[in-house]
Amino acid sequence: MLKSFLPNEQVKDVFQIKPETLKEQGIKAIITDLDNTLVEWDRAQATPKLIKWFKLMQDNGIKVTVVSNNNEERVRRFAEPLNIPFIHQARKPMGRAFRRAVKSMGVAREETVVVGDQLLTDVLGGNRSGFYTILVVPVAQTDGFITKFNRRVERRIMNFFKRKGMIQWEEEK
């Protein structure tokens, strides 16, 4: 049961995800969370560094779709200026939004990675739907109300994984 929460890979931030590495693994698409994965949960727009990362992915033929549990206004305000497709109110960890994203990008599940900062939504949802999952360290130290609750549960799960030597990403903060 707990293995459903274990990501395939852990990185400090999305900038450590390189298109060359993805292509070597046969990856053609990224489904990414928004809040505290790409930018702080209260930052409306992408940073210049993040804009360059999106362009790098695009230039290398890697498609990106933002899949967020947040509301349409929040996700649209971030994604539209970047011309990035998005799915809002995704209800992660449920699998429907992941399947919609893959279908809209025209790729197979095996050609797609799920990137996010939360075990209970991004990693669990990606794993349950059969995706390769990458956990990133949250970009902000603060969270919204529901996420604060999730983080408490995640700490217990991560502490278990750390004791078993299965995860070590938190030391990188």
Residues 156-168: tens digit of each pLDDT: 888 888 888 877 7
- Residue 146: the pLDDT is 64
DSSP 129: T
The answer on pLDDT for 105 being more than 90 is yes
The domains of the chain are located at: 2-167
Q: Integer distance in angstroms from the first to the last C-alpha of the chain?
A: 27
pLDDT digits (tens, 9 = 90+) for 129-158: 999 999 999 887 666 666 677 777 888 888
Spatial separation of the C-alpha atoms in residues 51 and 29, rounded to whole Å? 17
> pTM for this one?
0.87
- CATH T-level assignment (fold) for domain 2-167: Rossmann fold (3.40.50)
